[in-house]
Amino acid sequence: MSTTDTVAAEETAGDRWSAVRDLPPSAKLVAKVLDYNDTLTQSELAEETLLPPRTVRYALSRLEDEGVVDSRFSFSDARKRLYTLAL
């Protein structure tokens, strides 16, 4: 891989996270956990991040406002929503 390819790859990765850069730390943490895990519910995110459920809800709402997270209803339990990183 040439130096130009490396710089281009870093710029693409940087652009990928630009929408998250100015968000609160809790939103950044939730986004990173979703980056490592494909799809999680709010309760699974709270468990993985060790954040209170209310903080996870706030982080998810901020991420949804920025268009960083996609959500859909769970087919196995319609009361739950599944969250996926949209970056």
Q: In 1-87, where does DSSP find H-type helix?
A: 3-16, 25-36, 42-49, 53-65
Considering only CA atoms, which of 72, 86, 70 is closest in space to residue 17?
86
Identify the CA nearest to 64 among candidates 36, 31, 15.
31
pLDDT in tens, 30-68: 999 999 998 999 999 999 999 999 999 999 999 999 999
Query: Domains (ranges, CATH) in the chain?
Result: 3-85 (1.10.10.10)
Q: What is the pLDDT of residue 62?
A: 95
Confidence of residue 13 (pLDDT cuts 50, 70, 90): low
Task: Give the amino acid at 13.
Answer: A
